[in-house]
Amino acid sequence: MRWRPGAGLTLLETLLAIGILAVVSLAVVAVFVGGLRLLARSSEIATATEIARDFLERTKLTGYGALPPGTNRFDGSVPDPASASGFPQGPYPKFPSGGREYTLVVSSQPVPGSSSLMSVQVEVRWDEVSFVRMETYLSP
């Protein structure tokens, strides 16, 4: 068998091909890991939104009469005790889900310019910077 010039791959070409393959593989893995992080974040937001929605629906069911008068704030991280009327109701102050603990911060206040309309806000937190906030209005 005779050697022909230019036939086959040189060591340099082989190393270059392996290097390119390594860079592309690392990029694919980085995109995959980033996607997993976004998926986990999306799941946390969906859970917090469901907790907030459920809390506001329960508040609507208990009605305007269960709200304490004036401006109030109940921080589940402290946790502040519920008012005499039982507001805020469960799942205040904390809600465990999926290995994570969600903390509720609830506030109620009269709506400016209205004598019979109350605003109820719930903020669901799950770490130091992440939260979901929802609000509803109640009237007698």
Integer Cα distance of 12 and 102 in angstroms: 56
Residue 1 has pLDDT above 60, yes or no: no
Three-state DSSP state, 35? helix
Q: Answer yes or no: is 59 within a domain.
A: yes
State pLDDT tens for residues 21-76: 999 999 999 999 999 999 999 999 999 999 999 999 999 999 999 899 899 999 88
Q: Is residue 3 part of a domain?
A: no
25 domain residue, yes or no: yes
In a domain, residue 45? The reply is yes
3-state secondary structure of 90: coil
Which SS3 state, helix, strand or coil, does residue 50 take?
helix
Domain that residue 38 falls in: 11-138
70 located within any domain: yes
d(CA 121, CA 107) in angstroms, rounded, equals 5
Query: Residue 114 pLDDT > 80, yes or no?
Result: yes
Longest dimension (CA), the chain: 100
Is 130 within a domain?
A: yes
Number of domains in the chain: 1
pLDDT in tens, 119-136: 999 999 998 899 999 999
Q: pLDDT grade, residue 7 (50/70/90)?
A: low
| Domain presence at residue 84 | yes
Kindly report whether the global pTM for this prediction surpasses the value 0.85: no
Alpha-carbon distance of 114 to 112, in angstroms, equals: 6
CA distance 10 to 17: 11
- Helix (DSSP H) and strand (DSSP E) numbers for the chain: 1, 5
Residue 6 domain-assigned? no
